[in-house]
């Protein structure tokens, strides 16, 4: 016997509603996970004096630097965290470009501000490195969690790009905190942690992002 048209329509409608609820629930879950991850670095930012730590630099410049860093981070995340129109996601070239160019663009952007104001005495940048890692690592882990076992191709490159984007996003918090833009400081405190998160992301991508092969019966 074949099901009646009304029963078939009801089954299809129920299935469509279930898929819609699942997608909606997934978006809400992802939004919650990303929000919590984005807030993870704030306690350290506040504990280390927040915006007041950058008081040696005009506030307008601090905001301008942070906005530029945010644009770089959003551009990286748009490629690394979303697969675009392709069913299999971004190409390995695009993903590796994000992993390589995120620290380079961050370095070039910050150093371009050097000399526009009186920098405080330069430091090696270990606290900036630590703050970037503390702010960026939760975003990396959140993205890996949300996209776990969903990457059909290039999981290592995807993980590297996700890590670099997370580092760039975490670096925005540091841009609001740090008043230094000298080359050596930026290299250690701002670019290096993005590289480290990209490498860590590549490891996590290999372990957690790739689709599982179908089990043999």
Interval 101-139: pLDDT, tens? 999 999 999 999 999 998 888 889 999 999 999 999 999
7 pLDDT higher than 70: no
Spans of all domains in the chain? 1-39, 40-209
pLDDT for the residue numbered 66: 97
pLDDT for the residue numbered 9: 65
213 pLDDT higher than 80: no
Q: DSSP labels for 66-87?
A: HHHHHHHHHHHHHHHT--TT-T
- Report CA-CA distances (Å) from 45 to 109, 141, 204: 22, 20, 26
* Residue range 177-194: mean pLDDT, rounded: 97
* Per-residue confidence band for 18, with pLDDT thresholds at 50, 70 and 90: very low
pLDDT for the residue numbered 1: 45
186 pLDDT higher than 50: yes
What is the pTM (predicted TM-score) of this model? 0.84
> Other C-beta atoms within 10 Å of 109: how many?
18
216 pLDDT higher than 70: no
């Amino acid at each position: 016997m074949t099901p009646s048209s009304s029963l078939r329509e009801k089954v299809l409608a129920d299935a469509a509603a279930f898929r819609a609820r699942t997608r909606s629930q997934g978006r809400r879950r992802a939004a919650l996970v990303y929000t919590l991850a984005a807030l993870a670095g704030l306690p350290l930012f506040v504990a280390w004096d927040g915006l007041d730590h950058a008081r040696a630099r005009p506030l307008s410049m601090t905001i301008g630097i942070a906005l530029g860093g945010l644009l770089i981070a959003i551009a990286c995340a748009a490629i690394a965290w979303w697969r675009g129109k392709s069913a299999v996601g971004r190409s390995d070239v695009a993903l590796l470009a994000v992993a390589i160019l995120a620290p380079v663009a961050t370095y070039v952007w910050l150093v371009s501000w050097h000399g526009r104001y009186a920098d405080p005495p330069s430091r090696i940048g270990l606290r900036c490195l630590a703050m970037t890692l503390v702010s960026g690592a939760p975003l990396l882990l959140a993205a890996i969690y949300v996209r776990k076992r969903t990457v059909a191709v290039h999981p290592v490159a995807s993980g590297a790009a996700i890590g670099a984007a997370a580092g760039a996003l975490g670096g925005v918090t540091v841009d609001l905190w740090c008043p230094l833009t000298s080359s050596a400081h930026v290299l250690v405190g701002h670019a290096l942690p993005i590289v480290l998160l990209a490498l860590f992301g590549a490891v996590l991508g290999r372990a957690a992002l790739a689709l599982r092969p179908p089990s043999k019966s």
